[in-house]
Amino acid sequence: MEFYFLGTNAGVPTIQRNVTSIALRLLEERRSMWLFDCGEGTQQEVLRSPLKLSRLEKIFITHLHGDHLFGLPGLLSSRAYQGGTTPLTVYGPPGLKQYIELSLGISQSRINYQLHIVEHTGGLLFDDGQFRVESALLDHRIDSYGYRIVEMDKPGKLNQELLERYGIKPGPVYGKLKRGESVEVEGGVMLHPQDVLGAPKKGRIITILGDTRPCLNTVVLAQDATVVVHEATFLHELADTAYEYHHSTALQAAEAAKAAGAGQLIMTHFSSRYKDQEQLQPLLEEARSVFPNSLLAEQHVLLPVPDIGS
């Protein structure tokens, strides 16, 4: 899995950074892409990236402020022109359905794929046996949600040496054992998955948070996360400003990651007062003083999701 940041700025776009949108590429897992927020200009950033809207499977909107939402109608409309024919589901707070349907209806946009809109107020959004996604309310000026994506544990590695002793070569039998099915081998012996599979590979946990002040649910959603993506709109010297506008500082993002026992923190949603990556370095230093494994999101830069234990 990989993160690809299509926008990292707060409020309005700047010459250096677009407003918020995060792509999560699911490579081996399902050859698809999920999008978290869709600020104005997101589809243009996609065109400058290696991402393909035809592989877009799900969109998760954290809240209904324009810098997280205004790019959605255009992207939905353009997806069909970029080979997107498979169903697409959009999740977000109440009001999202009205916004999408009104925007597409007035503009007479035609969607030639199945579009599902799921409004929620938190809780379990889906569990398909491969991933489970949960959401919870944060603390912002309007209802803003964070998302917790849990990858299910994967079967352990097959003991190929043992399988070869039974005369089993790579093929359909391997697949059955990996799926937890027992198979009969020569001599009528039943071979069970637990006989030939190693310990399961622990699934990763990814937490992506919307705009928020520090609150309990940031820690709950990020508990034991492999990676947590947290807004860091200001340096902590502007903590009063952050509180007034219902945002967090880099230091507060780091404190949340530490309290949750997360493995890695990626900060995004930076104020326009920090013009470029060089001016963002103090935010990184501030976060690392509390949580050393902190990173700054950067547009059009891939950030792999670490494997457990790496």
Q: How many domains does the chain have?
A: 2
Residue 140 labeled ligand binder: yes
Identify the three-state secondary structure at position 34. strand
The per-residue pLDDT for range 82-100, each reduced to its tens digit, is 888 999 999 999 999 999 9
Is residue 153 annotated as part of the catalytic site, yes or no?
A: no
180 and 100 belong to one structural domain? no
261 and 222 belong to one structural domain? yes
122 and 191 belong to one structural domain? no
Closest CA to 41 of 64, 21, 11: 21
| Mean pLDDT estimate for the chain | 92
Identify the three-state secondary structure at position 25. strand
What does the alpha-carbon distance between residue 92 and residue 143 come to, in Å, rounded to a whole number? 10
**Active-site residue among 37, 67, 127, 153?**
67
Instruction: Provide the residue range defining the domain that includes 16.
Output: 2-153+204-304
78 and 116 belong to one structural domain? yes
Q: Are 206 and 227 in contact (CB under 8 A)?
A: yes
290 and 214 belong to one structural domain? yes
Residue 143 labeled ligand binder: no
Residue 211 labeled ligand binder: yes
Q: Compute the chain's Rg from CA coordinates.
A: 22
The per-residue pLDDT for range 228-244, each reduced to its tens digit, is 999 999 999 999 999 99
239 and 297 belong to one structural domain? yes
Crossing angle for the helix pair 72-79 and 96-106, to the nearest 10 degrees: 60
78 and 227 belong to one structural domain? yes
The per-residue pLDDT for range 169-223, each reduced to its tens digit, is 777 777 777 767 787 776 677 877 777 777 778 899 999 999 999 999 999 999 9
Question: What's the pLDDT score for residue 307?
Answer: 83
183 and 87 belong to one structural domain? no
278 and 237 belong to one structural domain? yes
Question: What's the pLDDT score for residue 82?
Answer: 84
237 and 176 belong to one structural domain? no
Q: In the predicted model, what is the mean pLDDT of residues 139-147? A: 98
